[in-house]
Structure 1
Amino acid sequence: MKNALTRFYALLCALSALSMVATFVVVMLGIIGRETDWFNLRGLDAYAGYSIAAALFLALPETLRRGDHIRVTLLLQRLPERARRLMEFWCLGAGVALALYLAWYACRLVWVSMSTHDISPSSDATPMWIPQIAMALGCIGLAVALAQALFSHLRGDEFYQPISGEAAHVE
């Protein structure tokens, strides 16, 4: 199960990287089109925004797995071992609850947008459920990753897999 979840997080991270490349391509197309008056594609700004949002949300689970989310460890470092474990359990539990809440409403937003035929208010007129899928997937992935971190913490295993041996630079 752990390997399947790791592959799921890696897939979402790869989709996030693809979204970043799409953002670059869309922005470059907009610049080239404006500078050369060669073509004028409507809605490029909206597509760049959709791609940036997709990159952000899809990277959430892998970022958590690598230990790169911002954590305030100043208090945790000063607590005794038992109190630190309890505080980490509470924080992970609260994180799971909040992530599940966010994932529920992100999925609900996709459903409502699809059922009401909501379209983008900008000139691209994209059905809104299409870019919202990436947000919902990222939120689901974050909720699953936080739940996995909570269960790993309860078993005494280490969930975070930093890329290097040093602590994350965000702590």
Structure 2
Amino acid sequence: MRRLLDGIYRGAGWAAGVFMVGTLAMVLAGVLGRVMDFHLRGTDSYAGFCMAASFFLALAHTFVKGEHIRVSLVLQQLRPKTLRVVEIACHLLGATLAWVLTWFSARLVWQSHVLNDVSQGMDATPLWVPQIAMAVGAAVLAIAVTDRLWGVLSKPDWQPPHSETAFSE
């Protein structure tokens, strides 16, 4: 199970990287189009869609690698029992918020699909298509935070991961 979850987190990170390259490609296409006097419809919109997809898909990978902001200056001052309570409370709150975000993101995708909502740009892209990346990224983050919460609850001596040792190899 650990290998499967780590693979999902890693895959989401790679997908985020692909969408980051997509953002670059769309921006370059728009710039080159203006310089060479041709117009590619929707490049600005697609750059934004790719950027949002990159952001949401990178959330879980970044979380698992221990790269999210932690207030370690405060946490270092806590006693072990207090630190454990704080870690459990923070992970419980984080998991709850991530699952709520997942619910509303999936609901937004469904509503956009049912209502045939399209982008305001000249290309009129159905909005549920780029919104899928947000829902998937939120779901993978919710799984990652829940996974970490389980780790904190099941190991009394749990320590937060460092960038170099986050994935089990």
TM-score between both structures, scaled by the size of structure 2? 0.93
Aligned residue number for residue 124 of structure 1 = 123
Report what 1:7 is aligned to: 7
Alignment match, 1:149: 148
Q: What percentage of aligned pairs have identical amino acids?
A: 41
Q: Is the 8 A contact 1:113 1:129 kept in 2?
A: yes
Asked whether the 8 Å contact 1:117–1:127 carries over to 2, the reply is yes
Structure 1 match to 2:164: 163
Aligned length, in residue pairs: 164
Q: Report the RMSD for the aligned CA atoms in angstroms.
A: 1.5
Distance change >3 Å, CA 65–CA 51, structure 1 → 2: same
The ranges of structure 1 where at least 4 consecutive aligned residues each deviate by more than 2 angstroms after the TM superposition are: 157-161
Query: Is 1:28 aligned with 2:28?
Result: yes
| Structure 2 spans left out of the alignment, 5+ residues | none
For residues 30 and 58 of structure 2, the distance between their equivalents in structure 1, rounded to whole angstroms, comes to 25
The alignment's TM-score, normalised by the length of structure 1, stands at 0.92
Question: Which secondary structure state, in structure 2, belongs to the residue aligned with residue 121 of structure 1?
Answer: coil
Provide the rounded CA distance (Å) in 2 between the counterparts of 1:133 and 1:152.
Answer: 29
Question: Contact conserved, 1:118 with 1:129, CA < 8 A, in 2?
Answer: yes
Check if 1:17 corresponds to 2:11: no
Equivalences for residues 49-60 of structure 1 within 5 A: 49-60=48-59
AA in 1 matched with 2:112? S
Q: What SS does the aligned partner of 1:42 have?
A: coil
Structure 1 segments unaligned to the other structure (5+ residues): 166-171
The one-letter amino acid paired with 2:36 is T
| 1:96-107 mapped onto 2 (5 Å cutoff) | 96-107=95-106
User: Cα distance, 1:164 vs. partner?
Assistant: 6.7
Cα distance in structure 1, aligned partners of 2:80 and 2:95: 22
